[in-house]
Amino acid sequence: ERCSRKPSASATGAAAPAASASTAAPAGPSPLSSRLFTTTPDGRTVLRETPPPPTGGMAAVAAALAQINLQAYAAAFDAEGYDDISFLRGLDAAERADVAKETGMKPGHAGRFVKFGFEPP
């Protein structure tokens, strides 16, 4: 029997892990709680819910930049204080051109950002 818990320094044999495993997962082998899975109170192992995408702050700006393959500029947006996705999405083309210049975008990247904003072309 394979046990995925860390063995204790005073391991006394298979009796102790078998006793604790029977209380943690009563119905056969199941993965222990982890980043991806969790054990419900009734002993079932289920996939954890994924957190919702970021809705604000620099994380949302970085995610939006990544969607249009301009993630290389995330640090520049942060350095210039462009950390509000709602504000950035409300800019018109002329204002986006200013942001592109202030963040040091290459001409091709700036043209795409100015024309399409955060929408993929």
Tell which wins on pLDDT, 21 or 72. Answer: 72
pLDDT at residue 29 is higher than 50: no
Q: How far apart are CA 83 and CA 62, in angstroms?
A: 9
pTM of full prediction above 0.75: no
At residue 47, what is the residue type?
A: L
User: How far, CA to CA in Å, does 108 sit from each of 37, 50, 94, 102?
Assistant: 43, 35, 16, 15
Q: Which of helix, strand or coil describes residue 39? A: strand
pLDDT, mean of residues 19-45: 60
